[in-house]
Amino acid sequence: MSRFAIQDTGLAGLKLVSRQAATDRRGWFERLFCSEELAAAAGERFAPVQINRSCTLVKGAVRGMHFQYPPHAEVKLVSCLQGEVFDVAVDLRTGSPTFLRWFGVRLSADNRASLLIPRGFAHGFQVLEERCELLYLHSAAYAPAHEGGIRPDEPGIAIAWPLPIADLSERDCAHAPLTAGFAGVQL
């Protein structure tokens, strides 16, 4: 029996994963990860090699938009464990029919939704309430020499953040604007 409902998002390979909880009088149980089910959705074997957790305190803060270039490009499964965020993925894949298009969705502890993000996508989120915690499962370890990023306020992408951006890290502010010749991520 599947513990996930998996939906397409309109961006090839990007999936919305809804976790199905088994409940009884004691509470609930939910599966956060199943390599078989998620590999079928991702179109490739997805075995986490790194798991990260973040806590963001300030409502309106944005983290992102981050990605890794090959050979360290990664599949990510992002889940919200506390609070609510607006989670965004941007297709940066060279030659993709949805190149430079974005998809955003609310993830929360209550809605039990996750975003399954394929290689070649940038990822970021905005905190919609104070103190939000996210859990990230990555198919590749963080490789600083292969990291990339785009500004969350990049005009060429025009993400419609639900709140004014209240806080950005120096790292996220330092990403150069995309140029007309941006070729994307070659996978």
> Which CATH number covers residue 99?
2.60.120.10
The answer to the question of residue 178 being in a domain is no
* Closest to 126 measured CA to CA, from 93, 95, 102: 102
pLDDT at 182: 85
pLDDT at 32: 85
The answer to the question of residue 61 being in a domain is yes
pLDDT at 88: 98
Domain that holds residue 10: 4-21+29-173
* Closest to 38 measured CA to CA, from 50, 30, 46: 46
pLDDT at 114: 97
Q: Which amino acid is at 4?
A: F
Question: 71 to each of 1, 92, 142, 164, how far by Cα in Å?
Answer: 35, 15, 11, 35
The answer to the question of residue 9 being in a domain is yes
The answer to the question of residue 78 being in a domain is yes
pLDDT at 2: 64
Domain count, the chain: 1
pLDDT at 165: 95
DSSP the chain: --SEEEEE-SSTT-EEEEEPPEEETTEEE-----HHHHHHHHTS----SEEEEEEE-STTBEEEEEEE-TTS---EEEEEEESEEEEEEEE-BTT-TTTT-EEEEEEETTTTEEEEE-TTEEEEEEESSSSEEEEEEESS---GGGEEE--TT-TTT----SS---B--HHHHTSPPPPTT---B--
Per-residue pLDDT 10s for the chain (187 aa) are 568 899 999 999 999 999 888 889 999 888 888 888 887 787 888 889 999 999 999 999 999 999 999 999 999 999 999 999 999 999 999 999 999 999 999 999 999 999 999 999 999 999 999 999 999 999 999 999 999 999 999 999 999 999 999 999 999 999 988 887 788 999 9
The answer to the question of residue 12 being in a domain is yes
The answer to the question of residue 102 being in a domain is yes
Name residues whose C-beta falls within 8 Å of residue 45's C-beta, 6 or more positions apart in sequence.
Answer: 35, 39
Q: Answer positive or negative: Cα dihedral of 142, 34, 90, 112.
A: negative
The answer to the question of residue 130 being in a domain is yes
Catalytic residues: 66, 136
* Closest to 76 measured CA to CA, from 20, 23, 125, 27: 125
pTM confidence score: 0.94
